[in-house]
Amino acid sequence: MKIAVCIKQVPDTANVKLDPETHTLKREGVESIVNPFDLFALEAALRIKEAAGGEIVAVTMGPPQAETVIKDAIGFGVDEGLLLSDRAFAGADTWATTAVLAKAIEGLGDVDLVICGKQAVDGDTAQVGPGIAQRLGLPHVAFVKGFREIENKRLVVERQMDDGYDVVELPLPALITVVREVGEPRPPSLKGKMRAKKYTVPMQGAADLGLDASQVGLAGSFTQVVKVFAPSHSGERRRLEGSDEQMGAQVIDALVDNQVIMLGS
Amino acid sequence: MGVIIDKELCIGCEQCLDACPFDALEMKGDVPEVGDACTLCGSCADVCPEGAITVPEVERAQDDRAAQAKGVWVYAEVRGGQMPEVVAELLGQGRRLAGQLGVELGAVVLGHGLGGVAGELFALGADVVYAADDPLLADFNDDIYCKVLTRLIAEYKPEVLLAGATSVGRSMIPRVATAVATGLTADCTGLAIDPDKRLLLQTRPAFGGNIMATIVCPTARPQMATVRPRVMKRGERREGFEGRLVTVSLDAEDQAVTKVLEVVQSLEENVNLTGAEVVVTGGRGVGGPEGFKVVAQLAEALGGVVGATRGAVDSEWIGHAHQVGQTGRTVAPKLYIALGVSGAVQHLVGMQGSDTIVAVNNDPNAPIFDVAHYGIVGDLFKVAPAMLSHLKQLRGQG
Ligand SMILES: Cc1cc2nc3c(=O)[nH]c(=O)nc-3n(C[C@H](O)[C@H](O)[C@H](O)COP(=O)(O)OP(=O)(O)OC[C@H]3O[C@@H](n4cnc5c(N)ncnc54)[C@H](O)[C@@H]3O)c2cc1C
Ligand SMILES: Cc1cc2nc3c(=O)[nH]c(=O)nc-3n(C[C@H](O)[C@H](O)[C@H](O)COP(=O)(O)OP(=O)(O)OC[C@H]3O[C@@H](n4cnc5c(N)ncnc54)[C@H](O)[C@@H]3O)c2cc1C
Ligand code: SF4
Ligand code: SF4
């Protein structure tokens, strides 16, 4: 089975702090990491390969530095990597992102399964996976949390829903996006790390993919960011005073007075 | 591509660098230089005291869809015969937007055994209901649901389409947007109309809730958005209102490729955090699985559900289904009570939309107090029982 895993380089949002005065992101010293959900995608791919055999290719679109996430993936044990990098790709919305990723996956030839993370922790849209599936004409199941059956031509997966989960059968080729329940990522292996050091990451730009500059990046995007601002925490804020017991009673009184709590119910 | 900086006007004050959310500006000598990361968002131009920055118009392909498209649509999700709360909220917001644009509000519903649903959608604000009722649509399947919705959009050409940012919405709507070739804004918490340009201003959190971005879709139609549940206000019910019902039938070649074998309503996963009116959350401050007892008691007394931080979930004190935050569920209940929660940004992003927030923490500097309407610096094991007993007393139970 040939599996393509899409991974994205993101700032480590755990360490992104807001500047309290300017309300902008302070990024000095913030490391770039593999999107945490994409580690679950890599883990899922490795487990499927263990079950069904085959080959895994990790694909990323990003600036030249994003090469490091491909090397990380090699360290985890994927077979090959591909970096999609071009100045023209900058500023892409999800439509222009899937244009590039879908073309690149098509170029890999005969991919049986594409795996994406649930969402990227910077853009946070969760739109890229289903978008790639549509462009490639593949069926997809999003938010996969487990596998029931893994065969060469068919998967049975558990799909997380708001009120439980569905068991879904899907024929391959197909695309899935995965959530953390698919399994904790294994640590990179020593052998993988050695290989990653020596691995030269292949790179492709717009021209290699046969894409015109107008189809990618900012120019190829439908959406446009017109304003960016800090979230406001609206409403009155107060600190209560007194002993622990007094404060506990006070807050209940305040919530009742403001009809947040109804006593009748 | 990037903003244009007039080197003559620039005084080198560096305010634009601080304002850029994408870290796209860097000082080269006395003036800033713009890099590839620039998205032309205009934040730098807004703060430049000298007016030295201009934001160029992006050349976009001409698109005549804007002139033809008309009407606001809501995708009315139905699962197991039930409509999630967000449908009523979308119709409430959809009514307001349709009113400002002077157009009709449509609702699309796909499923099987939909008797009564159309009437409910009219009562909730729809002028027109497009209903496809077919055994093939009995279970949610992305492929066939997307095909039908895509076809309806191509035929009736709405200018706006809203859907809930639920598991179903976030799975199928990106596929539909790609199929009709238009823009989609994810998980919006604010929607407004720019009356001059007839554009939908879509506001959403990104970077794990650290920033808010307002996004437009200038040329392609429909302008599509998924909307976070429990943020928009539902409208007045119009009991007995009868709108136009358009029955949609499937094509002969419509086939579902994926197959739902089983639908599991799982108790553990059915914590129904997203739908709860009251959420009482325990963090690492509760000290262990035993500590969740008082959390559960308070939740029960308030008719709410138990939430947890990742700190508590990772310590295996409680299941992941309870987790609130970036990698858990997003909630916006009427009342959110945080017990022993520090307030990491990944947690705040999942609950800061709550109407009223109460925080109990023994560290006066815990960041949770920045978002709390009622902050209590104290020991949760004393404060929470006091809340419980006072509540019982007021209810005449104690
Ligand atoms: C503040 C802000 C708000 C934005 N809002 C929107 C919006 O509402 N709508 C919109 O269309 N765009 C939006 N964008 C642009 C969007 O972030 C980019 O298009 C981005 O390239 C992909 O989206 P994402 O990060 O949300 O990825 P998601 O769709 O959340 O990612 C899901 C999965 O797709 C794969 N993937 C995503 N990106 C890549 C990549 N570059 N290389 C390899 N695999 C990848 C990964 O497996 C990932 O886990 C926004 C950007 C910013 C900065
Ligand atoms: C990629 C990523 C995603 C994440 N996603 C999430 C997410 O979805 N949800 C989430 O919650 N976190 C998430 N986190 C983790 C987050 O950064 C924090 O580590 C976590 O929220 C902390 O949990 P906590 O508040 O329970 O624990 P702590 O930070 O340890 O806070 C415990 C608090 O309890 C207080 N306390 C202790 N004893 C008492 C007492 N007796 N009475 C009153 N107060 C007391 C302490 O003062 C302290 O403030 C994520 C992190 C990363 C990197
Ligand atoms: S337009 Fe926005 S992204 Fe570009 S440099 Fe200015 S602030 Fe940064
Ligand atoms: S804000 Fe304006 S004047 Fe100040 S450095 Fe930037 S471009 Fe120059």
Contact A231 B209 (CB under 8 A): yes
Vertex B134: Cα angle to B130 and B139 (nearest 5): 105
The three-state secondary structure class of A204 is strand
Residues from chain A contacting residue B41 (CB–CB below 8 Å)? 225-228
- For residue B40, the ligand closest to its alpha carbon is 3
Cα separations in angstroms, A209 against A55, A84, A101, A219, B265: 22, 9, 10, 17, 44
Write the single-letter amino acid at A238.
R
For residues B143 and B36, which has the higher predicted lDDT (pLDDT)? B143
pTM higher than 0.90 = no
Residues in chain B: 398
Nearest neighbour of B377 by CB, restricted to A135, A227, A239: A239
The ipTM assigned to this model is 0.89
pLDDT digits (tens, 9 = 90+) for A27-50: 566 788 999 999 999 999 999 999
Inform me whether the pLDDT recorded for B270 exceeds 70: no
| Chain B interface, best mutation among A140, A222, A238, by max B CB count within 10 A | A222
Distance CA(A131)–CA(A110), nearest Å, equals 19
Tokens of A70: 């491909």
Beta bridge partners of B27: B32
* 8 Å CB contact between B104 and B82: no
Other beta carbons within 10 angstroms of residue B80's beta carbon come to: 12
Inform me whether the pLDDT recorded for B352 exceeds 90: no
Beta bridge partners of A38: none
- For residue A91, the ligand closest to its alpha carbon is 1
Q: Looking at residue B65, what is its pLDDT? A: 84
Q: Looking at residue A28, what is its pLDDT? A: 62
* 8 Å CB contact between B97 and B130: no
- For residue A116, the ligand closest to its alpha carbon is 1
* 8 Å CB contact between A101 and A175: no
Residues from chain B contacting residue A222 (CB–CB below 8 Å)? 181-183, 217, 219-220
HEC per residue, A70-121: HHHHHHHCCCEEEEECCHHHCCCCHHHHHHHHHHHHHHHCCCCEEEEECCCC
Choose which residue among B41, B53, B57 to substitute to test ligand 3 binding: the one with the highest number of ligand atoms within 8 A of its C-beta.
B41
Distance CA(B343)–CA(B237), nearest Å, equals 38
Contact A168 B186 (CB under 8 A): no
pLDDT digits (tens, 9 = 90+) for A104-122: 999 999 999 999 999 998 8
In terms of CA atoms, which chain B residue is nearest residue A254?
A: B374
Contact A141 B356 (CB under 8 A): no
**Where are the alpha helices (H) located in chain A, listed in sequence order?**
36-52, 67-76, 94-108, 128-136, 190-198, 206-209, 244-257
Distance CA(B129)–CA(B112), nearest Å, equals 15
Nearest neighbour of B260 by CB, restricted to A91, A130, A168: A168
Q: Which of B91, B103, B111 is nearest to B163 (CA)?
A: B91
* 8 Å CB contact between B61 and A96: no
Torsion of the alpha carbons at A12, A220, B204 and A134, rounded to the nearest 10 = -90
Write the single-letter amino acid at B397.
Q
Secondary structure element (H or E) that encloses residue A241, with its range: none
Contact A230 B211 (CB under 8 A): yes
How far, in Å, is the centroid of ligand 2 from the Cα of B312? 7
pLDDT digits (tens, 9 = 90+) for A167-223: 999 999 999 999 988 999 999 999 999 999 999 999 999 999 999 999 999 999 999
Inform me whether the pLDDT recorded for A265 exceeds 50: no
Q: Which of residues 230-249 of B touch A (CB under 8 A)?
A: none
Write the single-letter amino acid at A261.
I
For residues B69 and B63, which has the higher predicted lDDT (pLDDT)? B69
- For residue A82, the ligand closest to its alpha carbon is 1
Percent pLDDT > 90 in chain B is 70
- Segment B177-182 shows an average pLDDT of 98
pLDDT digits (tens, 9 = 90+) for A73-98: 999 999 999 999 999 998 899 999 99
- Region label for B104, one of left (φ > 0), alpha (ψ between -120 and 50) or beta (otherwise): beta
Percent pLDDT > 70 in chain B is 97
Distance CA(A151)–CA(A183), nearest Å, equals 19
Q: Looking at residue A229, what is its pLDDT? A: 80
Contact A127 B60 (CB under 8 A): no
Torsion of the alpha carbons at A7, A10, A13 and A16, rounded to the nearest 10 = 170
Q: Which of residues 187-246 of A touch B (CB under 8 A)?
A: 214, 217-219, 221-231, 233, 235-240, 244-246
Contact A240 B387 (CB under 8 A): no
The three-state secondary structure class of B220 is coil
pLDDT digits (tens, 9 = 90+) for A125-173: 999 999 999 999 999 999 999 999 999 999 999 999 987 899 999 999 9
Q: Does B79 contact chain A (CB < 8 Å)? A: yes
The three-state secondary structure class of B265 is coil
* 8 Å CB contact between A236 and A258: no
Contact B184 A94 (CB under 8 A): yes
Task: Quote the minimal CA–CA distance from B124 to chain A in Å.
Answer: 22
The three-state secondary structure class of A186 is coil
Diameter over CA atoms, chain B: 75
Distance CA(A22)–CA(B86), nearest Å, equals 35
Q: Does B288 contact chain A (CB < 8 Å)? A: no
Beta bridge partners of B323: B308
Inform me whether the pLDDT recorded for B189 exceeds 80: yes
HEC per residue, B151-190: HHHHHHCCCEEEEECCHHHHHHHHHHHHHHCCCEEEEECE
Contact A235 B58 (CB under 8 A): no
Question: How high does pLDDT run on average in chain B?
Answer: 91
Distance CA(B207)–CA(B243), nearest Å, equals 41
Distance CA(B391)–CA(B398), nearest Å, equals 8
- For residue A90, the ligand closest to its alpha carbon is 1
**CA of B326, closest atom in ligand 2:** 8
Tokens of A8: 């994205």
Q: Which of B98, B56, B127, B108 is nearest to B198 (CA)?
A: B98
Q: Classify residue B50 as exposed, middle or buried by CB count within 10 Å of its CB (0-12, 13-18, 19+).
A: middle
| Chain B interface, best mutation among A27, A61, A177, A227, by max B CB count within 10 A | A227
**CA of B2, closest atom in ligand 3:** 4
How far, in Å, is the centroid of ligand 1 from the Cα of A217? 12
In terms of CA atoms, which chain A residue is nearest residue B23?
A: A27
- Segment B154-173 shows an average pLDDT of 96
Q: Which of A99, A103, A133, A104 is nearest to A116 (CA)?
A: A133
pLDDT digits (tens, 9 = 90+) for B289-332: 999 999 999 999 998 999 999 999 999 999 888 999 988 888 88
Nearest neighbour of A25 by CB, restricted to B172, B207, B265: B207
Q: Does B144 contact chain A (CB < 8 Å)? A: no
Residues in chain A: 265
Distance CA(A213)–CA(A210), nearest Å, equals 10
Q: Does B274 contact chain A (CB < 8 Å)? A: yes
Q: Is the CB of B19 under 6 A from ligand 4?
A: no
How far, in Å, is the centroid of ligand 4 from the Cα of A242? 50
In terms of CA atoms, which chain A residue is nearest residue B226?
A: A125
Other beta carbons within 10 angstroms of residue A207's beta carbon come to: 11
Q: Is the CB of A93 under 6 A from ligand 1?
A: yes
Q: Is the CB of A117 under 6 A from ligand 1?
A: yes
Q: Classify residue B178 as exposed, middle or buried by CB count within 10 Å of its CB (0-12, 13-18, 19+).
A: buried
Q: Looking at residue B315, what is its pLDDT? A: 93
Q: Which of residues 8-37 of A touch B (CB under 8 A)?
A: 11, 13-14, 16, 18-19, 22, 24-25, 27, 36
The residue ranges of every structural domain in chain A are 2-215, 235-265
How far, in Å, is the centroid of ligand 4 from the Cα of B58? 22
Tokens of B263: 């639908």
Q: Looking at residue A29, what is its pLDDT? A: 64
Q: Which of B55, B106, B40 is nearest to A223 (CA)?
A: B40
Tokens of B41: 């968002």
Q: Which of B90, B223, B106, B276 is nearest to B168 (CA)?
A: B90
Peptide linkage before A185 cis (omega within 30 of 0): no
| CATH number attached to the domain at A2-215 | 3.40.50.620
Q: Which of A179, A158, A140, A164 is nearest to B82 (CA)?
A: A164
Distance CA(A194)–CA(B10), nearest Å, equals 49
Q: Which of B226, B325, B228, B346 is nearest to B279 (CA)?
A: B325
- Segment B125-139 shows an average pLDDT of 96
Task: Determine which of A122-136, A231-245, B32-46, B175-189 has the lowest per-residue pLDDT on average.
Answer: A231-245
